[in-house]
Amino acid sequence: MQAADIMRDLQMKSLGLLQEDADKIEKLIEIQMENLTTRKCPLYEEVLDTQMYGLSREIDFAIRAGLVHEEDGKAIISKLERNLAELYDALSPKE
């Protein structure tokens, strides 16, 4: 196996692992969206925020290590941030 093949394999594995972590956060968001009838829960929001922060640090490390392209990392975070914004919007009291 050549160095380029090894690097490509590492990049694919890194991106896959980051996507798995993003999918877990996505699942948390989906569960909360399904339960919008429950009141706003600061603890749940704290868990989501902490998970998002942790994932952003993982992605930052992977980008700096050359394991993930910056565009791919930003795309993962952007998608989750949009979904999180939708959740918070749905939880906000309407006037």
Could you give the CA distance from residue 62 to residue 75 in angstroms, rounded to a whole number? 14
pLDDT in tens, 4-24: 999 999 999 999 999 999 999
- CATH number of the domain residue 57 falls in: 1.10.287.750
- Write out the residue range of the structural domain in which residue 80 sits: 12-91
19 within 8 A of 74, measured Cβ to Cβ: no
18 within 8 A of 58, measured Cβ to Cβ: yes
Is position 23 within any domain?
yes
Is position 6 within any domain?
no
Angstrom CA distances, 16 to 23, 28, 86, stand at 10, 19, 25
Is position 64 within any domain?
yes
Angstrom CA distances, 1 to 12, 47, 52, stand at 15, 42, 36
pLDDT in tens, 46-81: 888 999 999 999 999 999 999 999 999 999 999 999
Is position 53 within any domain?
yes
Sign of the four-CA dihedral 14, 31, 29, 50: negative
